[in-house]
Chains A and B, each alone.
Chain A
Amino acid sequence: MAQTSDRSKYLISPALVIGLFIVAAYGYFALSSFFAKGPPGTQFAGGPTFDNYWRVLSFGSNQEVLLSTLWASFVISVITIGVAVPMAMVIVRAKREWIGNLIMLAIAVTFLSGGVTRAYSWLILLGNKGLINLGLTSLGIVDAPIRFLYNWSGVGISIAHYLLPFAVFTLIGAVRNLNPSVEEAARSLGASRTTTFWRITMPMLLPGLMVTLVLVYSIALASFLFPMLLGGGKVRMIANQIYDRMFVEYDIPYAAATAVVFLISAFVSIWLISFVAKKIEKAVS
């Protein structure tokens, strides 16, 4: 028996091989960021240089795209969680089971439909003559159609919609782990529903909320399709920029430098969020 368990560690080798290849590819890509753009068909050329990093960090437009990607991802993630919490609560706690099942089904359908399909659906819904604006104008709620497309609102809505299943599925576990007696205890001690929610339920959910926030934030940072299709070139996130540099400008070193800077800032921002989250959890307890 000891022998088998001894050998079992070798089972990791296929994963290790694949992992090494991927790391090697990443490494090679990262390495290219220290060189100049090569002739067509090559990755890079010339001697080592920090030029690409200087370009990434010094141009105002680059900084703007980077910062807006980080900030927008954060805001969209927070909004997503704001929507996901009540949904998870209803799924877990609805007295009529079919209500929870219906919401689960809706989320699952969203989850399984492809990104392009969804982006296109949002184009139909959010356009100046889309269903939402048509409804709003014909009901007389607004005079002129609200512009959702080619700005952050449309991109934000579609990304939030994309993130929602991730957030809801993660939060279902957290909500299921809540002990309902604790909330009942608060009610019997004189707390209203609202007070109980904010002072008891939310603090108990906080660790789950923070995990979910980091998860959806990481996913949001990598958004590519929705800003491309619903942003119409006016809203650009970092993945679009990297894509353009690689496949439009064929400047792989420049793209690589952008990716490296982005990766580092993503890590730093995620670390920052977790750090603040821990502080908040401590302060609440």
Chain B
Amino acid sequence: METLKSSTLQLAQLTKTYHSFEAVRDLDLNVPSGSLLTLLGPSGCGKSTVLRMIAGFLNVTSGQILVDGKDISHVEPNFRDIGMVFQNYALFPHMTVASNVAFGLKMRRVPKEEQAVRVREALEMVQLTHLADRHPSQLSGGQQQRVALARAVVIKPKLLLLDEPLGALDRNLREGLQAELRDLQRQLGITSILVTHDQDEALYLSDYIAVMNGGRIEQLDTPIALYDRPQTEFVARFLGVPNIFSSKVVSSTANEVVITLGNQPVVVPTNQNKPAGSECKVSIRPSHIDVARAEDPRQGITATIQSIHELGERIVYHCAIDGLKIEANAPRISSSERFATGQVVKLVLDPSHTILLRD
């Protein structure tokens, strides 16, 4: 299939309230054409509500959904030109694979011959041409989801919405399909919104990730920026950062503050204006901490190793800095130095990845 003319999506102050409960609050979002944006968050954060409003299955309380600048928030779902893939596949059980894929074309009154050609192309794209005459119940989960994907893109939609598309699949299958989904989305250049609670999936698939919490976007960033530099405590915790510390600012200059971990000073670069004495929180990933000998010449903090766990790809050190627990990781390769439990070491924090969290 050729590349689609891709559209842009813009959400402007989108709000959804149920009685007094605000599921989505004043959400603003811009999705550049051809990119894949993920709404990531725990269940109940409003991500599915946003997706269902874009699809037209939920009414908008207020705000706008603009596709190519045109507000579609009051258009019936069948006139929105949006392809959607559901977690539970949602194939038509009484139709063959080919009829499933042809359904959207039939609704658009595409001539029979063209239907056949486009259905075959779409099935080729997901490598399922040989199963065209089967019924969905005769297919595996992965095959069903590929049919669903073919069915959604065959209509050349303006947007592709993916609602936890890999959530029902087992791990190995999920990784395979992830790659396939990524390639397909890139190849077609179709503007896509993915909803998931799985951060690995989000990091792998997305151009942009919006982490949602309580109906709002906490942070919108590229996957790497989000992973390396979470801006709030919620994002840091959701992305699995174990080292989040409450501290006090000792002194501050224009682009850095000095805080204490245990009783030791740590310099944290920031552009936030935090006066000395104010409360603050810092986050640092274990993989951004280098465990070194106590006599290492670099700047660092002195800590004692409490326990060591060698796991698959990494060595996990649980350390204590004056009673404060901190986790550090080292790659589990033969060249990395091994330390012993009880040993005093120097923890070298990567300053660009030591983050002063926003309140």
- Decide yes or no whether A88 CB sits under 8 A from chain B: no
Whether A182 lies near B90 (C-beta < 8 A) is yes
Whether A190 lies near B104 (C-beta < 8 A) is yes
- Decide yes or no whether B281 CB sits under 8 A from chain A: no
Q: How far is the CA of A72 from the CA of B80 in the complex (A)?
A: 46
Interface residues of A in 177-228 (CB under 8 A from B): 179, 181-182, 184-192, 195, 200, 203-204, 206
Whether B155 lies near A190 (C-beta < 8 A) is yes
- Most A-side CB within 10 Å, residue of B55, B76, B78, B103: B78
Known: A181-B86, A195-B107, A285-B135. A188 touches B92 (CB 8 A): no
- Give B contacts to A, CB under 8 Å: 55-57, 76-80, 82-84, 86-88, 90-95, 103-104, 107-108, 135, 148, 151-152, 155, 161
CB distance from A282 to the nearest CB of B (A): 10
Known: A188-B55, A191-B78. A284 touches B94 (CB 8 A): yes
CB distance from A283 to the nearest CB of B (A): 10
Q: Which residues of A contact B92 (CB under 8 A)?
A: 182, 185-186, 200, 203-204
CB-contact partner of A179 in B90, B104, B107, B135, under 8 A: B90
Q: Which residues of A contact B103 (CB under 8 A)?
A: 186, 189, 191
CB distance from B147 to the nearest CB of A (A): 11
Known: A179-B88, A182-B92, A192-B78. A187 touches B56 (CB 8 A): yes
Chain A contact residue count (CB 8 A cutoff): 19
Q: How far is the CA of A154 from the CA of B298 in the complex (A)?
A: 97
Pairs A–B under 8 Å by Cβ, sample size 21: A179-B88, A179-B90, A181-B86, A182-B90, A184-B86, A185-B86, A187-B56, A187-B77, A187-B78, A188-B55, A188-B78, A188-B80, A189-B83, A189-B103, A189-B107, A189-B152, A189-B155, A190-B104, A191-B78, A203-B92, A285-B94
Q: Which residues of B contact A186 (CB under 8 A)?
A: 92, 103
Q: Which residues of A contact B91 (CB under 8 A)?
A: 182, 185
Interface residues of A in 229-256 (CB under 8 A from B): none
Whether A184 lies near B77 (C-beta < 8 A) is yes
Whether A188 lies near B77 (C-beta < 8 A) is yes
CB distance from A187 to the nearest CB of B (A): 4
Known: A190-B108, A191-B78, A285-B135. A184 touches B155 (CB 8 A): no
Q: How far is the CA of A195 from the CA of B57 in the complex (A)?
A: 16
- Give A contacts to B, CB under 8 Å: 179, 181-182, 184-192, 195, 200, 203-204, 206, 284-285
CB-contact partner of B90 in A184, A191, A206, under 8 A: A184
Chain A residue at minimal CB-CB distance from B52: A184
Chain B residue at minimal CB-CB distance from A206: B94
Q: Which residues of A contact B135 (CB under 8 A)?
A: 285
- Most B-side CB within 10 Å, residue of A186, A187, A190, A206: A190
Q: How far is the CA of A116 from the CA of B108 in the complex (A)?
A: 55
Q: Which residues of B contact A204 (CB under 8 A)?
A: 92-94
CB distance from B193 to the nearest CB of A (A): 13
Q: Which residues of A contact B86 (CB under 8 A)?
A: 181, 184-185
Whether A185 lies near B84 (C-beta < 8 A) is yes
CB distance from B52 to the nearest CB of A (A): 8
Whether A188 lies near B82 (C-beta < 8 A) is yes
Whether B94 lies near A189 (C-beta < 8 A) is no
Q: How far is the CA of A189 from the CA of B92 in the complex (A)?
A: 12
Q: Which residues of B contact A187 (CB under 8 A)?
A: 56-57, 76-78
CB distance from B289 to the nearest CB of A (A): 44
Q: Which residues of A contact B55 (CB under 8 A)?
A: 184, 188
Q: How far is the CA of A285 from the CA of B84 in the complex (A)?
A: 23
Q: How far is the CA of A201 from the CA of B86 in the complex (A)?
A: 17
Whether B56 lies near A188 (C-beta < 8 A) is yes
Q: Which residues of B contact A182 (CB under 8 A)?
A: 90-93
Q: How far is the CA of A104 from the CA of B351 in the complex (A)?
A: 65
Whether B95 lies near A181 (C-beta < 8 A) is no
CB distance from B115 to the nearest CB of A (A): 13
CB distance from A195 to the nearest CB of B (A): 7
Chain A residue at minimal CB-CB distance from B102: A189
CB-contact partner of A203 in B84, B94, B104, B155, under 8 A: B94
Chain A residue at minimal CB-CB distance from B86: A181
Q: How far is the CA of A21 from the CA of B226 in the complex (A)?
A: 77
Q: Which residues of A contact B78 (CB under 8 A)?
A: 187-192
CB distance from A107 to the nearest CB of B (A): 28
CB distance from A164 to the nearest CB of B (A): 27
Q: Which residues of B contact A285 (CB under 8 A)?
A: 93-95, 135
CB distance from B48 to the nearest CB of A (A): 12
Q: How far is the CA of A148 from the CA of B47 in the complex (A)?
A: 56
CB distance from B194 to the nearest CB of A (A): 16
Q: Which residues of B contact A190 (CB under 8 A)?
A: 78-79, 104, 107-108, 155
Chain A residue at minimal CB-CB distance from B99: A285
Chain B residue at minimal CB-CB distance from A207: B94
Chain B residue at minimal CB-CB distance from A284: B94
Q: Which residues of A contact B82 (CB under 8 A)?
A: 188
Whether A181 lies near B94 (C-beta < 8 A) is no
Q: Which residues of A contact B151 (CB under 8 A)?
A: 185, 189
CB distance from A279 to the nearest CB of B (A): 14
Q: How far is the CA of A200 from the CA of B91 in the complex (A)?
A: 10
Q: A185-B92, A188-B84, A189-B155 are in contact. List 13 more A-B contacts (CB 8 A).
A: A179-B90, A182-B91, A185-B90, A185-B91, A187-B56, A187-B57, A189-B78, A189-B83, A189-B104, A190-B79, A191-B78, A191-B107, A192-B76
CB distance from A212 to the nearest CB of B (A): 18
